[in-house]
Structure 1
């Protein structure tokens, strides 16, 4: 080997060593990772949709003359043969009966107010708070158009105001008022006449005093084949299918259903899943179960038709055929992890062999994140309990091998295969 060749090889070797050292130094001192601090978060899958009520309904027909007076509030339960409505010759008797009911309610309130224990329990400061809340609720219900709750809240306000007068001794007693009401009631009773007819229910059921034309269209069997277009076309009143002889309907059984079209790109909602439903129109929240989720077969591949089964029944749940409803899934609390920080890494994990009753090390891909601790980078596992488009929620676990609160998770600077870039 001549001198020139030896010098050339030496130069190449020195250059290679320099490049190697530079590469090592760059990786050791590289500090351009993009990190995000792992913080606590609460998340849930809340989905708002147009819900269509589906019930086992049967219309009640009455084709004779007369004025109908209902004997039960909407959503009330009746036994087989029990009276749902009375029939009178004119509306005068209905007004008399309504007035008597109002007087009875007022007498009951006054008796309650002057109960010997009232002054001891209801203090002015406490009553003032109740009065203030009642005023606020009345305004809220008026703006929301909830007349039923508005009426109920006004009755409560009258009770609070009258009780305040009583406990502050502005009024010593209500004996004269009660006596006057009883006299008025007696006079009204003398004008009462028996109804000319009664309308019983054929079987035990919930009663509703109106029909909307969908009673024979939206039933349980139809729920299995409803299309997205059919659901979207339903309104509160199907005028073309109304029967002039219908005076109301009964709802059989204890369960009813809601159908809707939702977007569920991650197939989160499954058959049999327990959920909560929130009804903005009434403020009610009830427990429910997803009966069926199936593709909506629309231009949007993320759309699903969802059928939900419910068992709670009240006045509020029979006032509409269609309304906006919100699915409130359970709340998940844990650590927020950005999706771009998650990687899959090949690791050896302990796995129990049931056949040999021994613990073995098995190499498999596990999901986790890289954590930056000073100049040190460490891989930690995640325990996913919830996912969204941009992040997942990892369960808070005490083991150090899992990501912890306030860890600096590396969002970029780590390759897909789990290697440091």
Structure 2
């Protein structure tokens, strides 16, 4: 009996011991405190960003100053001498009526094209639907980019295709009554609309911009090279009391090139005679710029003069814009310098935790920062992989100390 009781007690104790050991292992696995960091993708770019002053050879366009302006050209559009760049109306209502007349004329033309013989004879609804979907995606993209001229273009194209689609699918039999109604509205509107009080014509061939800020008579491409650091900073910060020219309707740029004046911290990568890539905060485009000169401005700074032979609405949107000079980007797995170790083969790498094991993995450095490096992102398991747990502690004989 005693023997049986003893066996029972020993069995219970052994079972308890096993349970305790398993519990301990589970607890140890999930609660062991090790100083680690996860290997994550990181992109570093060492670009230079500063505000710049855009300088061109510009002539201000003026008018009587009485009335409301309706522009006929988008900014950065090329115009010929004698072209009417804007009309002057007595009120905004007149401008709204003129725009409504244009909308009515376009809509009538769309519906009449849709009803032309042969337009709907050989077109399948699926083909039209695919066209609508494709145009809609392009419209959304243009809208995100704030490219409103392109948005307007795709809106018109979608409207035209949908008009045809309605006829093909028998959603409507005819647009005759709609066209008649629109033509009546158009006729009545033309009777009431007033002609422009004044037309503003281009005095020379150039590139049109719809604003003037007062620097047109002060800055030009010849004078700007002599500006000192403080003068450039005053323009950037708006410290100059430069008044806008009275009765200005915009300006004409003599050509498409410009100079850009920047004050930056000294950077050995920015030297005279090289070409760089530049980006603006107002655009997703990348522009080619040429470093015309770099002058020491004192206090660890330089005056940089760039030239740019591109022209679009973003480049003329403001006199002062934030500019980013683009250099190489580096992408890789971010590794703290304190985690870098060498194995017995003198290979550079890190120790990572894999379950209960500690394993050495090599790193392939693509960029070195001050307190970290970037290792090439690879699928080779001998090297550090994405999401590996990098051990920051010192390791001895394959175990963390």
Return the TM-score normalized by structure 2: 0.60
Question: Alignment partner for residue 244 of structure 1, among 225, 242, 246?
Answer: 246
User: 1:199-257, CA deviations, whole angstroms, 9 ceiling, x for partnerless residues?
Assistant: 32222111122211222233222144241563354367977422222221111111123
Question: Alignment partner for residue 128 of structure 2, among 98, 113, 122?
Answer: 122
- Alpha-carbon contact 1:61-1:245 (below 8 Å) kept: yes
Q: Distance in 2 between matches of 1:203 and 1:161?
A: 38
Per-residue deviation at 1:130?
Answer: 6.3
Per-residue deviation at 1:66?
Answer: 5.1
Per-residue deviation at 1:188?
Answer: 3.1
- Alpha-carbon contact 2:289-2:309 (below 8 Å) kept: no
SS in 1 for 2:268: coil
Per-residue deviation at 1:105?
Answer: 3.9
Q: Distance in 2 between matches of 1:170 and 1:82?
A: 44
Question: Alignment partner for residue 313 of structure 2, among 291, 312, 315?
Answer: 315
Question: Alignment partner for residue 303 of structure 2, among 302, 305, 310?
Answer: 305
- Alpha-carbon contact 2:42-2:331 (below 8 Å) kept: yes
- Alpha-carbon contact 1:57-1:249 (below 8 Å) kept: yes
Q: Distance in 2 between matches of 1:154 and 1:237?
A: 39
Match of 1:326 in 2: 324
Change (3 A) 1:89 1:391: same
What is the RMSD of the two structures over their aligned residues, measured on CA atoms?
5.1
User: 1:393-413, CA deviations, whole angstroms, 9 ceiling, x for partnerless residues?
Assistant: 999xxxxxxxx987xxxxxxx
- Alpha-carbon contact 1:235-1:322 (below 8 Å) kept: no
Per-residue deviation at 1:118?
Answer: 7.9
Per-residue deviation at 1:83?
Answer: 2.0
Q: Distance in 2 between matches of 1:99 and 1:237?
A: 43
Return the TM-score normalized by structure 1: 0.58
Q: Distance in 1 between matches of 2:199 and 2:85?
A: 8
- In structure 2, runs of 5+ residues without a counterpart are 1-39, 349-364, 377-381, 385-401
Match of 2:261 in 1: 259
Q: Distance in 1 between matches of 2:110 and 2:238?
A: 37
- Alpha-carbon contact 1:54-1:256 (below 8 Å) kept: yes
Match of 1:284 in 2: 284
Change (3 A) 1:43 1:111: farther
Per-residue deviation at 1:73?
Answer: 2.2
- In structure 1, runs of 5+ residues without a counterpart are 1-38, 341-370, 396-403, 407-421
Residue 374 of structure 2 is aligned to residue 376 of structure 1? no
